[in-house]
């Protein structure tokens, strides 16, 4: 069964249509890139899947269920912008996650933090943007979730931090879970993706496996993206 399924999913903000009748299925065990230009509906889709927004029309199902407390326990969501308060210390956010999520692996999180030499007494406020992003990713990937929704996980960080983040994702997701990564930095994520979804103005422009794109079109996803979304 698909871990994420959208049926004629539509979301309007007053008059603006952010998603227009999206049909989509994401199977377990796949790493999927949600790729599209700014304002194409990537964040809206992810917020609908994580239960932060409700559909205007149509349906979105996580593990066969309408988003709610039960699906939130299965979904590990990394928002584009941080929701952690910057007065918090690393140990506070760890307690926070342990409190909220039964599937949070504290030992795993502590190990990853120690490897980066981030102390549990460190305050989020004093961290660089890159370090803060890494801390958040470590928290999100330390859950044994069924669906990881990562909204622009490599957006604002340098190439070395991007590598770390991608390695952490592929090294830590549960094998039977699905990972959805939204980004417009395609050449950076291409190697780690199984499938891609191109989204344009709230509509699905293309879904394919990365191998098929390379095999059938003889070009990278990045090149294809530039062609599809040529301004």
Partner 1 sequence: MAWDFETDRPIYVQLVEQIQLRIVAGEYPAGSRLPAVRELAAEVSVNPNTMQKALGELERMDLVRSQRTSGRFITEDVNKIRMIKENLAREQLARFLEQMQAIGYNREDILRLLETLPENETKGEETDGHSGM
Question: The tokens of 125 are what?
Answer: 């406020």
Q: Which is nearer to partner 1, 65 or 226 (CB)?
A: 226
Is residue 192 at the binding interface for partner 1, with CB under 8 A as the rule?
yes
Which of 203, 202, 220 lies closest to 211 in space, CA to CA? 220
Strand 31-35, strand 147-151: pairing: unpaired
Strand-strand pairing, 178-183 and 31-35: parallel
Query: What does DSSP assign to residue 175?
Result: T
Shortest Cβ distance from residue 175 to partner 1 (Å)? 8
Is there binding between residue 222 and partner 1 (CB under 8 A)? yes
How many Cα atoms occupy the beta-carbon half-sphere of 112 within 13 Å?
25
Of 210, 225, 227, 229, the residue at the interface with partner 1 (CB under 8 A) is 210
DSSP letter string, 122-148 = -BGGGS-HHHHHHHHHHHHHTB--SEE
Indicate whether 207 belongs to the interface with partner 1 (CB under 8 A).
Answer: no
Does residue 108 bind partner 1 (CB under 8 A)? no
Of 19 and 213, CB closest to partner 1: 213
Of 7, 89, 108, 214, the one binding partner 1 by CB under 8 A: 214
CA separation for the pair 187, 99 (Å, rounded): 37
Selected range binding partner 1 among 4-12, 96-104, 147-155, 165-173, rule: CB under 8 A: 165-173
Q: How many CB atoms lie within 10 A of CB 71?
A: 22
- Residue 147 or 193 having the CB closest to partner 1: 193
| Cβ 195 vs Cβ 160: under 8 Å | no
Total residues in contact with partner 1, by rule CB under 8 A:
24
219 near partner 1, rule: CB under 8 A:
yes
163 is a site residue for partner 1 (CB under 8 A): yes
Candidates 72-80, 110-118, 127-135, 164-172 — which segment interacts with partner 1 by CB under 8 A? 164-172
Q: 84 — alpha (psi -120 to 50), left (phi > 0) or beta?
A: beta
Verify binding: residue 158, partner 1, rule CB under 8 A.
Answer: no
* Total Cβ atoms within 10 A of residue 145: 24
Site residues (CB under 8 A) for partner 1, limited to 4-43: 29-31
Interacting residue ranges for partner 1, rule: CB under 8 A: 29-31, 163, 166-167, 170-171, 175, 187, 190-194, 210-211, 214-215, 218-220, 222-223
């Amino acid at each position: 069964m698909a871990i994420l399924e959208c049926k004629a999913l539509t979301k309007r903000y007053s008059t603006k249509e952010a998603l227009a009748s999206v049909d989509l299925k994401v199977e377990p065990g796949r790493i999927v890139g949600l790729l599209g230009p700014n304002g194409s509906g990537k964040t809206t889709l992810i917020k609908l899947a994580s239960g932060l927004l409700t559909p205007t029309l149509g349906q979105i199902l996580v593990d066969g269920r309408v988003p709610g407390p039960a699906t939130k326990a299965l979904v590990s969501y990394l928002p584009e912008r941080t929701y952690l308060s910057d007065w918090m210390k690393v140990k506070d956010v760890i307690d926070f996650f342990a409190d909220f999520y039964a599937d949070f692996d504290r030992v795993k999180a502590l190990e990853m933090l120690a490897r980066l030499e981030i102390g549990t007494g460190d305050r989020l406020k004093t961290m660089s943007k890159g370090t803060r992003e890494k801390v958040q990713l470590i928290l999100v990937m330390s859950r044994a979730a069924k669906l990881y929704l990562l909204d622009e996980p490599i957006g604002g960080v340098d190439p070395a931090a991007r590598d770390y983040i991608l390695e952490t994702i592929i090294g830590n997701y549960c094998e039977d879970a699905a990972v959805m990564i939204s980004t417009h930095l395609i050449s950076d994520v291409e190697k780690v993706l199984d499938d891609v979804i191109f989204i344009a103005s709230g509509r699905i422009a293309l879904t394919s496996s990365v191998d098929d794109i390379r095999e059938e079109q003889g070009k990278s996803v990045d090149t294809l993206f530039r062609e599809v979304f040529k301004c």
